[in-house]
């Protein structure tokens, strides 16, 4: 009888340890989720760094001269210079 109790206790301990290994926080599944989150965050950081580099280059262009400012005014505000002719191309 005592041998069965010992085996039952050991089986319960083994199941408890297996549960902690596979399911609980700090287990394999949790570690896998965290690795995926880290990979997603790194990809997002790279995308944002590229966007920041583009914006920084645009700021440098705007600070450097009037050509970039004129281009920005043309595209965002629809402005034209004196003597220029504006053409609007409509796609069907």
Among candidates 72, 78, 68, which has minimal Cα distance to 88? Answer: 78
pTM of the model: 0.52
Is 35 in contact with 45 (CB distance < 8 Å)? no
CB neighbour list of residue 61: distance below 8 Å, 6 or more residues apart: 67, 68
Q: State how far the Cα of 81 lies from the Cα of 46, in Å rounded to an integer.
A: 39
pLDDT per residue as tens digits for the range 14-58: 888 777 777 777 778 888 889 999 999 999 999 999 999 999 988
The pLDDT value given to residue 69: 76
Q: State how far the Cα of 67 lies from the Cα of 61, in Å rounded to an integer.
A: 8
> Mean pLDDT, to the nearest integer, of 72-89?
79
């Amino acid at each position: 009888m005592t041998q069965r109790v010992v085996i039952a206790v050991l089986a319960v301990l083994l199941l408890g340890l297996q549960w902690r290994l596979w399911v609980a926080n700090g287990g394999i599944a949790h570690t896998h989720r965290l690795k995926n989150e880290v990979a997603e965050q790194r990809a997002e950081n790279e995308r944002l760094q590229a966007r920041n580099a583009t914006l920084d280059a645009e700021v440098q262009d705007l600070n450097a001269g009037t050509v970039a400012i004129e281009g920005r005014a043309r595209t965002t505000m629809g402005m034209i210079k004196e003597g220029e002719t504006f053409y609007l191309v409509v796609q069907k």
